[in-house]
Chain A
Amino acid sequence: MIQQAWQYMVEYPDKLLGWTWQHLQIVLIANAAAVLIGVLVGMWVSGRGREHIADGVIYAASILMTIPSLALFGILMGILYAISLPSIGVLPVIIALTLYGLLPIIRNTHTALREVDPAMIEAGRGMGMNGLQLLLRVKMPLAVPVILAGLRQAMVMNIGIAAIGSYLGAGGLGQPIFRGLANYRKDLVLAGAIAVSVLAVVTDLVMAGVEKLVTPKGVRMGRKS
């Protein structure tokens, strides 16, 4: 069976690559949106006196994660239809993946900003940094690696969920899987499944590299010793 799958992959690499590219695009767009929203929300809820808001937001985001993806797609389709936006295709999938990606990113942003050594914050404030300077020059450089770890988690997770998005006609690597299931073509199912898995593993590795790359040199050295 694996042989059949392999044969399919060798025979139609362009098809498979096309789906993979579609898949990746959906995931990238959704996660870019999730990072943008998640980091901003995470920064905002980490502000002083917003502990309760932070708890609430993180709780809400984790509830969101418990909604099964098919159900979330259904809900979004309903909402999109009601506001007369395309309720089928990429849009509901991208929105769903964005929502799923929020939790790890908000949570990591919040934790990272909260855990910056208070001595550093006191030193920064005492030397006359304003809130923005403190955030951009001190807190964020220290938080970015942790935030990226959240993004990495979100991306790997979303690569899996995006496969289900093919159900809504969003394309991607779910397509060979669903088509294979409908037509009793195990080779198609397997080829799609293998491709999704490889994509997830590669993404994870690439993101691990990026994470290391953005970790400030001084912090990296500190960890080693």
Chain B
Amino acid sequence: MIRLENVSKVFADGTEAVRDVSLEIAQGEFCVFLGPSGCGKTTSLKMINRLIPITSGKIYIDGVDTQQRNINELRRDIGYAIQNIGLFPHLTVAQNIATVPMLKHWPRERQRARARELLDLVGMPADTFIDRYPSELSGGQQQRVGVARCLGADPPLLLMDEPFGAIDPITRHKLQEEFLKIQERLQKTIAFVTHDIDEAIKMGDTVALMKDGELIQYADPATLLAEPKDRFVRDFVGADRVLKGLRLLRARDVMRAPRHTIEIDESVDRAVEVLDEHRRSWLPAVEDGSRFVGWIEREDLESSASLRDALTPAVSTAAPRTPLNEALSMMLGSATGSVAVLDNEDQLVGLLSFAAIRDVLAIDDESENG
């Protein structure tokens, strides 16, 4: 889809911003350009839509040399979102979103229909927001409109320069999640710039780690974490790279099927029996076969007349798609050290324990050594 061939950029003042970078981003792939400030990641991105002219090398999009195309038509075929959003304050949300459709001379009604569709996509009720002005929106909402705008004319390729950079961590987290869901549906080819390793690991199918204008390592996040190419990469991904790797796994990858459960309407004696039999100090309690209701702990049974009295409700539960790092922090907050994994209907589908996670990480270690 996009191919950079020996691309270099030397600015007029002699700074070598990008040095001989070659990489390829496949159709539908989410590629993150990562690195410390001044590493050339933004310059690389902006050379793709020719906001910054290339000094040497070539960039191909779908096999076509970008230099051969009309510069404005090239840009209209590429979605573009930036950190400072740059919404036009004198235009409504609809007009902002339809910027590229307007430049492409779509009929008015189609522009507006598209704005509606995209507002829905980014989770903003169109009826409420379509005729508002950017100054009437919160930072997060503006950012959403920025994302909607870059999808305006449904370009196959998106360039995003720290699009979630200027917002508070909670909103950023939410927008990242939502954007991943959108991407799952749309399957755009994306080049995305960030200096945040966590964001890179979370969002990227591949990560291009850059330093001083050079591409140091280009790999998928798991490889980047497991096999940092050199000291710089190791330092950049951080000493907690094993923990960061956890977020690449989902609860469903690690959970074990619940072998022993207890029906909440059973007697206390029966619960003690099961606990003794399997030498456990706790059991997940279920209702109607598999609907999870909480935990039964041995020490609570002695003073309780029924299991319902002894029940400890779960502080938090995971879903199969919960990233493992989040599940791990739930486990740290759970009295039993375990987390129940529930599907959409609250059915108990698995249990997460420290032992299970350790096993998975150990397997990963072996594969790394082998």
Interface residues of A, Cβ cutoff 8 Å to B? 117, 119-130, 133, 137-138, 141-142, 216-219, 221-222, 225
Contacts and interface: CB of A to CB of B under 8 A. Distances in A.
A54 B302 CA distance: 88
A49 B133 CA distance: 33
A160 to B, nearest CB: 34
B80 A217 contact: no
A42 B180 CA distance: 46
Interface stretch (B89-97, B183-191, B305-313, B351-359): B89-97
Contact of A128 (B74, B84, B92): B74
B160 to A, nearest CB: 11
Given A128-B75, A129-B72, A129-B99, 4 more contacts: A120-B87, A123-B86, A127-B149, A221-B135
Interface in B42-90: 49, 51, 71-77, 80, 82, 84-90
Nearest to B72: A128
A128 B133 contact: no
Given A122-B82, A221-B133, A128 B91 contact: no
A138 B88 contact: yes
B103 interface: yes
A120 B133 contact: no
Given A218-B90, A218-B135, A122 B51 contact: yes
Max chain B Cβ within 10 angstroms of own Cβ: one of A121, A138, A142 = A138
A218 B89 contact: yes
Max chain A Cβ within 10 angstroms of own Cβ: one of B76, B88, B103 = B88
Interface string B85-123: 111111110000001100100000000000000000000
Contacts of B76: 127-128
Contact of A218 (B72, B99, B103, B134): B134
A218 B137 CA distance: 11
Interface residues of B, number: 30
Interface of B: 49, 51, 71-77, 80, 82, 84-92, 99-100, 103, 133-136, 149, 152, 159
Contact of B133 (A123, A141, A222): A222
Given A119-B84, A221-B135, A221-B136, A125 B75 contact: yes
A120 B88 contact: yes
A161 to B, nearest CB: 34
A127 B103 contact: yes
B82 A123 contact: yes
B133 A133 contact: no
Contacts of A218: 89-92, 133-135
Contact of A127 (B71, B75, B90, B134): B75
Contact of B51 (A125, A137, A142, A222): A125
A122 B146 CA distance: 13
Max chain B Cβ within 10 angstroms of own Cβ: one of A119, A124, A126 = A126
Contacts of A121: 86
B99 A127 contact: yes
A123 B97 CA distance: 12
Nearest to A221: B135
Given A125-B51, A218-B134, A130 B72 contact: yes
Contacts of A133: 103
B190 to A, nearest CB: 15
A130 B135 CA distance: 26
Contacts of B92: 218
A126 B89 contact: no
A117 B85 CA distance: 11
Nearest to A144: B90
Nearest to A120: B86
6 contacts: A126-B49, A128-B72, A128-B76, A218-B133, A218-B134, A222-B135
Contacts of A137: 88
Max chain B Cβ within 10 angstroms of own Cβ: one of A119, A127, A216 = A127
The 7 A-B pairs with the shortest beta carbon distances in the complex, nearest first, are A123-B86, A218-B133, A216-B90, A222-B135, A119-B84, A128-B75, A128-B76
Contacts of A124: 86, 88, 99
Contact of B80 (A117, A127, A130, A219): A127
Contacts of B134: 218, 222
A106 B16 CA distance: 38
A128 B149 CA distance: 13
B232 to A, nearest CB: 30
Contacts of A125: 51, 75
B184 to A, nearest CB: 25
Contacts of A117: 84, 86
Nearest to A223: B135
A123 B136 contact: no
A123 B80 contact: yes
A32 B86 CA distance: 33
A31 B76 CA distance: 40
